Copies of this chain bind each other. A is one copy, B any other.
Amino acid sequence: MMDFARTRKLFYMPDGVIYLDGNSLGPLPHSAVERVSSLMTHQWGEMLIRGWNDAQWMTMPRRIGDRVGRLIGAPAGTVVMGDTLSIKVYQALASALDLVEDKSRRVILSDSGNFPSDLYMAEGLIKSLDRGYVLKVVAPDEVEAAINETVAVTMLTEVDYRTGRLHDMKVLTAKAHAVGALAIWDLAHSAGAIPVDLAGAEADFAVGCTYKYLNGGPGAPAFIYVAPKWADKARPALSGWLGHERPFAFDLTYRPGDGIDRMRVGTPPIIALAALDAALDAWDGIDMADIRQKSIALCDLFIREVEGKCPSLKLGSPRDGTQRGSQVSFIHPEGYAIMQALISRGVIGDFRAPDAIRFGFTPLYIDETDVRAAVDILADIMTNNLWDQPQFKQKALVT
């Protein structure tokens, strides 16, 4: 197995913390502080407006898009950064509905394991379009059977944010194509977590965020992938000036830019992109197959240890590592309090309503020792009911 001692050193980890929430917000890469500080001082400060040319800010969304693309099986020039994941979902869905051949179809197919914001954005788009589109939400294991000739677009998150259950992107995309539908994939819990092969799976669109496994920082920019076959045909819906063929001609009418560039909208968030760019350095030379191997080993170990030591916790994730992303959930009616107790002891995971405690395993900086230590603390909390205290039951704004 590959040794990740090198990458572990790239991240700051507070003393006494075992961080099993990198699937929600990745930790700080040491180099990001200096990178951002340097961009602010030497580029923004010294170059001022000239930074757009002299420091090549304007092309950052494409350059960084290519770096992300390498991790998700996207060819160079097919990914661009910008906005938030929710905005990118909207663009992908609006484009896909436009491109689907049979315009009479009205079903957007998703599942109840999709992240709610994706569903909300689809709802908002459907209301705007007011053309009778229906968002059909089935159980995750019913998706494949529900892909039929009524479906215009499938809109799925590859890895279920609560359970870690993994959809088979290749199989479901092929099924969508076989019935004449287009496939959109949300890679929020995939990018940097598992090997993804967008080109090989012939996905039509993909979107994702970069603050989880890619460690870009709180609210880091999102990405969108458009398959080369659609790149010059897709209508971006959110047609902003930086997606225009010639933004600085300041024409009064919109002409979409070439290929993926048309998915750009407004002025890119340069400071945030600098942090992300620094974070992506950790991935240089990393093979996602090595990440996957270690990720499965860590998750398997965690499951085995928790089941051995905490019998009241019920596994909420697939047991088979090949059917799972890089996270594990356990179910308990007092999940919220248990997670607060864990956090108070330095083991940071998170809680997903109504009853899941969720743990992310991130090979870049988490190893077997962390897993064992975390389970020992969890076992102490469970065995001695240490979670059963008022201060652990007080709900915070963000869970």
Contact = CB atoms under 8 A, between A and B. Distances in A.
Contacts of A348: 48-50
A87 B83 contact: yes
Interface stretch (A128-136, A164-172, A179-187, A324-332): A128-136
A28 to B, nearest CB: 4
Interface in A258-291: 265-273, 275
A121 B50 contact: no
A128 to B, nearest CB: 6
Nearest to A352: B250
B36 A84 contact: no
A124 B239 contact: yes
Nearest to A236: B124
A348 to B, nearest CB: 6
B240 A121 contact: yes
Nearest to A61: B219
B218 A124 contact: no
Nearest to A38: B33
A40 interface: yes
A14 interface: yes
A120 B266 contact: no
B37 A250 contact: no
Contacts of A238: 86-87, 90, 121, 124
Contacts of A25: 44, 48-49, 51-52
A253 to B, nearest CB: 7
Interface string A45-84: 1101111110001110000000000000000000000011
How many copies of this chain? 2
Contact of A272 (B33, B119, B130, B271): B271
Given A129-B130, A252-B119, A398-B58, A36 B271 contact: yes
B44 A217 contact: yes
A350 interface: yes
B49 A21 contact: yes
A168 to B, nearest CB: 23
A154 interface: no
A27 B49 CA distance: 8
B352 A239 contact: no
B33 A40 contact: yes
A269 B266 contact: no
B44 A266 contact: no
Contacts of A33: 37, 40-41, 45
Interface string A376-399: 000000000000000000001111
Interface string A74-104: 0000000001111100100010000000000
* Pairs of residues from A and B, 6 with the lowest C-beta to C-beta distance, nearest first: A84-B266, A124-B239, A117-B241, A86-B240, A218-B270, A86-B266
13 contacts: A17-B48, A32-B40, A36-B40, A50-B348, A53-B396, A87-B87, A116-B252, A117-B266, A121-B238, A121-B239, A123-B239, A250-B353, A272-B272
